[in-house]
Amino acid sequence: MNVQFNLADLYESVADVVPGRTAMVAGDRRLTYAELDERANRLAHHLAEMGVGPGDRVGIQLVNGTEYIECMLACFKVRAVPVNVNYRYVAAELRYLYEDAGLSGLVYHGRFGPAVADVGSALSECRVVLEIADGTEPTGQGSDYESVLAASDGERRFGPRSTDDLYCVYTGGTTGMPKGVLWRHEDIFFAAMGGGDPLSLGDVISAPGDTGQPRPTSRG
């Protein structure tokens, strides 16, 4: 595998080395690196089948949980751009963000279905809309997330990616309407993710393939 400073490549290089290690814990759900990778693969293949690809933006309107990271990884795998959607936004902010980002897809928790419906016309260009069941009454606006994953391909079959693929952060609140900030994957990895050295121990990686190698755990 020709690993790039691309967030999907970097994650996959780690998952290949420690597939059985716990990657995420959210409530009662625990996912290993391999399980998280498979679920992200399934979503990525579905996005691709629906025509979502390089440069397309996919909104993630979720509370914290494993699905949030699954969606981000799935987008990175097909070179799409995940867009964080603050679930506290009111209708005007949501409509503005949907239209400003030019969303090609949206994944939302069922509890946010009414808010999504209020500004549904702003999603007219969306190719895929998925609803994650959370115990609330389904709105029927989107396909069921888990059903889509179950019917999709869990294998890792994707083309090469680039360090220039985009990472997007939407901010807003005190300065008017939400604003999207774009980063290259390589830039966000080093500037905001510690370059493989989140504890600032001086172990910043020099090559993307190093993420799959054992790292020092402490300094003397």
The one-letter amino acid code at 8 reads: A
The parent domain of residue 79 ranges over 7-206
Does the residue 211 lie in any domain?
A: no
Quote the pLDDT of residue 219. Answer: 43
Does the residue 213 lie in any domain?
A: no
- Residue 88: CATH number of its domain: 3.40.50.980
Number of domains comprising the chain:
1
Quote the pLDDT of residue 194. Answer: 75
Q: Which residues of 164-200 are buried (b: 16+ CB within 10 A; e: fewer)?
A: ebbbbebeeeeeeebebeeebbbbbbbeeeebbeeee
Distance (Å, whole) CA 77 – CA 6: 9
Q: Is the pTM of this model over 0.85?
A: yes
Quote the pLDDT of residue 204. Answer: 73
Per residue of the chain (220 residues), give pLDDT as tens: 678 889 999 999 999 999 999 999 999 999 999 999 999 999 999 999 999 999 999 999 999 999 999 999 999 999 999 999 999 999 999 999 999 999 999 999 999 999 999 999 999 889 999 999 999 998 888 999 999 999 999 999 999 999 999 999 998 766 788 899 999 999 998 888 777 766 667 777 767 666 656 555 544 4
Does the residue 163 lie in any domain?
A: yes
Does the residue 25 lie in any domain?
A: yes
Does the residue 212 lie in any domain?
A: no
Does the residue 2 lie in any domain?
A: no
Which residue, chain included where needed, has tokens 């902010």?
93
Does the residue 216 lie in any domain?
A: no
Quote the pLDDT of residue 177. Answer: 87
Does the residue 128 lie in any domain?
A: yes
Quote the pLDDT of residue 51. Answer: 97
Sign, Cα dihedral of 149, 57, 13, 48: positive
